[in-house]
């Protein structure tokens, strides 16, 4: 069965520090991988997505993620965080063969301290 694990429920970093949010997935086929961000009382916004090709994908606002197939991971990174990056981040996976299902991880609450 497909699943997504985000092992860190909460992460706190100082403004200007680098960031890595972890994501591991379990999927037997070829996955499509996503990172979404949710600001308080808002819907979700897509940060970046990976289908194939270059395993490092760039997203909005300086975020990037690296697909490591051997480790079943898709960690999110940012070189220097800003206080406005404080939000909940969700990793998600869907099937390349198509199943109309998008499976989300439990989310990581990021707090950026000024």
Partner 1 sequence: AQTIHQWPVAEIKAVGSPLSLGCTIKGKSSPNLYWYWQATGGTLQQLFYSITVGQVESVVQLNLSASRPKDDQFILSTEKLLLSHSGFYLCAWSLDRANTEVFFGKGTRLTVV
Residues at the interface with partner 1 (CB under 8 A):
32, 34, 41-46, 49, 51, 90, 94-107
> Closest CB to partner 1 among 48 and 81?
48
> Closest CB to partner 1 among 80 and 106?
106
Taking the complex as a whole, how short is the minimal distance between the CB of residue 73 and partner 1, in angstroms? 18
Taking the complex as a whole, how short is the minimal distance between the CB of residue 4 and partner 1, in angstroms? 9
Range 49-55, long-range pairs (CB < 8 A, 24+ positions): 50/74, 51/96
Angle at 87 between CA 47 and CA 43, to 5 degrees: 65
> Closest CB to partner 1 among 59 and 80?
59
């Amino acid at each position: 069965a497909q699943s997504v694990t985000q092992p860190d429920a909460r992460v706190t970093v100082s403004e200007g520090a680098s960031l890595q949010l972890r994501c591991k997935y379990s999927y037997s086929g070829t996955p499509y991988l996503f990172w979404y961000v949710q600001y308080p009382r808002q819907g979700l916004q897509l940060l970046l997505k990976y289908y194939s090709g270059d395993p490092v994908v760039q997203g909005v606002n300086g975020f990037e993620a690296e697909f490591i197939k051997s480790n079943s991971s898709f960690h999110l990174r940012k070189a220097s965080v800003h206080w406005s990056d404080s939000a909940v981040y969700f990793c998600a996976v869907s099937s390349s063969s198509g199943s109309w299902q998008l499976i989300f991880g439990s989310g990581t609450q990021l707090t950026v301290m000024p």
